[in-house]
Structure 1
Amino acid sequence: MNWKTAPLLPTLYDFAVQNRALSRLGARALWNYDVDHLHELIAAQDPSALTLDIPCGGGLAIRDNPRHVAADLSQTMLKRARRKSTTLVQADIYNLPFPTDTFDVCLTYNGLHCLEDPPSALHELTRVLRPGGTLQGTTVIKGAGRDPLIKLLQRQGAFGNPGTRTNLRTWLEKASLTNITLTTSGAVTAFTARKSGTHHSPASAKVD
């Protein structure tokens, strides 16, 4: 995928995303999406939660907090994210280098639609969540009036295999996640779900 091998695409994307006015205009024009909702989700993060943020991109959701672990496959994105944090890991979302039941929260903002196999990524994110932990993210979906644009971006290698809103719910359910909430704005759906079990989060927990 171009996100891993071509530095220009990630750089241009990150520049647009980090600029609040430009991202607002672009999200509305491209996806009929109110990007302020994404910023509200980011602002509501719990700083005490041990959090995995993947793909972190250039660091839109990063907080300067050692309990916020930012990860991405792209070296270009990680270099840009380094401006905001030093708790960075180069990682493949399909094969995360963390033990099972590690994180209180997993974030995956604007990443699933870039993947060839979103269901496998959701299974892996669920694996590293602690019982009772929360998975939260946003993704472009099919069937919301932007399918021709999705197909164009797929041909350019920028998108993988996004699904419909129904597909997204099915993927989350098959990952054994519960309490699923989907909120759609234009062609973007925000999702929140929980891993079954009781959540215990000792203050001393850390990621090496």
Structure 2
Amino acid sequence: MSAWDSRLFGAAYDLGVEREWLARPVARLLWGADVRPLYDTLRRLADLPVGTSLLDAPCGGGVALRGLRPGQGLRYVGADLSQAMLRRTRRRAQRAGLPADVVAADLARLPFADGGFDVCVTFNGLHCVPDPAGAVGELARCLAPGGRLVGDLIVRGAGRRQDAAIAALRRLGIFGEGGTVAELRAWCAAAGLRIEHLERSGAVVAFSAV
């Protein structure tokens, strides 16, 4: 069983990510990062217009749902390999009164048609998958022309302390191959995406691409 399917690990992850007041000091301590831009991005999801189709992959415990509002009129699809995380997403959507489809899916091969979504979001996930370049390519494939990919990830190269933490999490099987800022730019370019915004704070990079 992977760490992501552990109920204890999932609860600890949700505790940290879903509570901004806790995530901010932890991110500052561990990654040297200000994560306020991530939460600003989540809040801006409430501005997406009626009829927007939104893919959240990997959805984790459904952190993107915190930015949506009942009656917004979106099509939300959450995809993740972890059944534990999918259950958390489903429960969060039910508590918030948000319609949501959750799908067991691997970012290496998403079970969606080309161009099926207006927006794809990927929060705290690209540094966990074995092939982040392939994952970006799959997310881009799922975007309609003019669609937007929005996300964040932890990158190497911010400093010795952060790189040591990344290496330790890789040994535990929590992080995957990961990459640098330059590699993120290359993944997007190879997938036919144009980066419109990229903001780095410590080891955390928030970005959007079209």
Q: Secondary structure at the match of 1:89?
A: strand
For the residues of structure 1 that align with 2:103 and 2:199, how far apart are their CA atoms? 29
For the residues of structure 2 that align with 1:140 and 1:167, how far apart are their CA atoms? 12
1:133: which partner in 2? 147
The AA in structure 1 aligned to 2:80 is D
Matches within 5 A, 1:30-109: 30-45=30-45, 46-48=48-50, 49-62=52-65, 63=68, 64=70, 66-85=74-93, 86-109=100-123
How many correspondences in the alignment? 194
1:25: which partner in 2? 25
Percent identity between matched residues is 45
Superimposed CA distance per residue, residues 96-126 of structure 1 (whole angstroms, 9 cap, x where no aligned partner): 1111010000000110000110000011101
For the residues of structure 1 that align with 2:170 and 2:195, how far apart are their CA atoms? 31
Unmatched runs of 5 consecutive residues or more in structure 2: 94-99
The farther-off stretch of 33-42 and 97-106 is 33-42
The AA in structure 2 aligned to 1:29 is L
User: 4+ runs of 1 displaced by more than 3 Å?
Assistant: 3-7
1:191: which partner in 2? 207
Superimposed CA distance per residue, residues 68-100 of structure 1 (whole angstroms, 9 cap, x where no aligned partner): 212211111111112232422221111111110
Q: What's the C-alpha RMSD, in Å, of the aligned pairs?
A: 1.6
| TM-score (norm: length of structure 2) | 0.86
- When residues 34 and 177 of structure 1 are mapped into structure 2, their CA distance, relative to the original with a 3 A threshold, is same
For the residues of structure 1 that align with 2:145 and 2:3, how far apart are their CA atoms? 31
Q: Secondary structure at the match of 2:103?
A: strand
Q: Secondary structure at the match of 2:152?
A: strand
> Residue 161 in 1 paired to residue 177 in 2?
yes
1:201: which partner in 2? none
> Any conservation in 2 of the 1:95–1:124 contact (CA below 8 Å)?
yes
For the residues of structure 2 that align with 1:123 and 1:80, how far apart are their CA atoms? 26
Q: Secondary structure at the match of 1:162?
A: coil
Residue 6 (structure 1) shift: 3.2
- When residues 147 and 133 of structure 1 are mapped into structure 2, their CA distance, relative to the original with a 3 A threshold, is same
Higher helix proportion: 2
Q: Secondary structure at the match of 1:149?
A: helix
Q: Secondary structure at the match of 2:87?
A: helix
| TM-score (norm: length of structure 1) | 0.87
Structure 2 counterpart of 1:174, from 190, 194, 204: 190
Residue 7 (structure 1) shift: 3.3
